């Protein structure tokens, strides 16, 4: 399969249809669940799909191990290329990674203002004209209202599509029936898209909890396969 056909037949097209055509420029989207369900895999699959379309992605990691993030991209690309029988896979791989930048922060030692200024510097001074930013592991549930407002303003001003993965900080925090931590509820009205993940049998159910103003939860027509860690059709 050639890259163009892979893009057209990707389950990410179904994912986008499930949220009215996608997240959209200047919008905030969150993928939420307990720890270890597959949020990072979802983010990396979304980001990789953007890379296949020659869009520019900044991956902001709050993990101390950047090599772990790179490994996720390698694994997701490998699974996609095998599943879809991608032609000239290594050539495509070497081309698309030119459109990705990974930035690393420790949330305990950095302010939202510094994160935003670093991103703006990368985009403006570094000449990396990003289309999408993903915040992997940002502890949104303990962020302040002001911090979230600044992130929302950043997305709107730059017209970037901004995705977050969010888990509860404390292991004893409850999650609702869709897998969303109850501690995220305070920010729900500020999010354009909120997707919850939860294990059911041999796969991970993805539910759109908020969708561009709608607060009627709807099961997505895609799921996460724990074996490949890919978003796939139902």
The pTM of the full predicted model, rounded to 2 decimals, is 0.96
Query: How many CB atoms are closer than 10 A to CB 41?
Result: 24
Say which DSSP state 182 is in: G
Whether the Cβ atoms of residue 34 and residue 170 lie closer than 8 Å to each other: no
Predicted confidence at residue 152, as pLDDT, reads 97
Whether the Cβ atoms of residue 51 and residue 99 lie closer than 8 Å to each other: yes
Q: What is the pLDDT of residues 88-137, one digit of tens each?
A: 999 999 999 999 999 999 998 899 999 999 999 999 999 999 999 999 99
Closest by CA position to 232, among listed 9, 27, 48: 9
The set of residues, in sequence order, having a beta carbon less than 8 Å from that of 136 and lying 6+ positions away, is: 39, 40, 43, 59, 60, 61, 62, 63, 69, 165
Predicted confidence at residue 112, as pLDDT, reads 96
Q: What is the pLDDT of residues 5-41, one digit of tens each?
A: 999 999 999 999 999 999 999 999 999 999 999 999 9
Question: What is the C-alpha to C-alpha distance for residues 162 and 187, in angstroms, rounded to an integer?
Answer: 15
Under the banding of pLDDT at 50, 70 and 90, the label for residue 51 is very high
Q: What is the mean pLDDT of residues 210-217?
A: 95
Cα–Cα distances in angstroms (integers) from residue 199 to residues 15, 44, 209, 226, in the given order? 18, 19, 16, 9
CA atoms within 13 A on the CB side of 46: 28
Give the sheet arrangement for strand 132-136, strand by strand. 100-104, 57-61, 132-136, 161-166, 28-32, 193-200, 203-211, 218-225, 230-233
Q: What is the pLDDT of residues 181-213, one digit of tens each?
A: 999 999 999 999 999 999 998 899 999 999 999
């Amino acid at each position: 399969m050639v890259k163009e056909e892979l893009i057209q037949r990707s389950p990410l097209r179904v994912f986008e249809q499930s949220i009215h055509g996608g997240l959209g420029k200047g919008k905030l989207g969150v993928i939420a669940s307990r720890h270890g369900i597959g949020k990072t895999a979802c983010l990396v699959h979304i980001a990789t799909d953007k890379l296949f379309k020659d869009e520019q992605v900044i991956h902001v990691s709050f993990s101390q191990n950047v090599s772990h993030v790179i490994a996720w991209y390698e694994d997701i690309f490998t699974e996609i290329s095998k599943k879809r029988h991608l032609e000239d896979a290594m050539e495509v791989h070497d081309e698309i990674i030119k459109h990705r930048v990974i930035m690393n922060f420790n949330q305990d030692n950095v302010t939202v203002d510094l994160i935003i200024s670093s991103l703006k510097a990368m985009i403006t001074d570094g000449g990396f004209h990003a289309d999408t930013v993903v915040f992997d592991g940002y502890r949104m549930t303990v962020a302040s209202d002001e911090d979230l407002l600044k992130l929302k303003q950043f997305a709107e001003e730059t017209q970037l599509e901004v995705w977050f993965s969010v888990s509860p900080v404390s292991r004893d925090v409850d999650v609702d029936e869709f897998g969303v931590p109850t501690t995220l509820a305070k920010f729900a009205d500020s999010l354009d898209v909120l997707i919850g993940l939860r294990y059911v049998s041999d796969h991970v159910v993805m539910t759109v909890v908020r969708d561009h103003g709608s607060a009627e939860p709807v099961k997505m027509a895609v799921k996460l396969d724990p074996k490949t860690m890919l978003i796939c059709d139902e």
